């Protein structure tokens, strides 16, 4: 793997914040925060910030399809 292409800034640009996830899911930021608090939505904590990997969010949605 060529690590010269992977920089912290590129990784951070790919992470979503609570409002980004809320927009994708079509719910309020409060709903996203509730899902995080209940540990139902995969997330990453960076200090006090909560961030989401887009692939994790999409897999989470796919797992809930009926």
| Residue matched to tokens 């909560």 | 50
Band the pLDDT of 15: cuts 50, 70, 90.
very high
Angstrom distance (rounded) from CA 5 to CA 7 = 6
Domain locations along the chain: 3-63
Band the pLDDT of 66: cuts 50, 70, 90.
confident
Distances (CA, A) of 61 to 3, 5, 6, 12, 25: 30, 29, 27, 22, 8
Residue 60 has pLDDT above 90, yes or no: yes
Q: Which architecture does CATH list for 3-63? A: Orthogonal Bundle (1.10)
């Amino acid at each position: 793997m060529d690590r010269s292409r992977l920089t912290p800034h590129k990784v951070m640009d790919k992470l979503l914040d609570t409002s980004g996830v809320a927009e994708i899911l079509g719910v309020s930021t409060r709903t996203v925060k509730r899902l995080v608090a209940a540990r139902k939505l995969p997330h990453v904590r960076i200090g006090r910030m909560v961030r989401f990997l887009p692939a994790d969010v999409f897999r989470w949605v796919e797992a809930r399809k009926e």
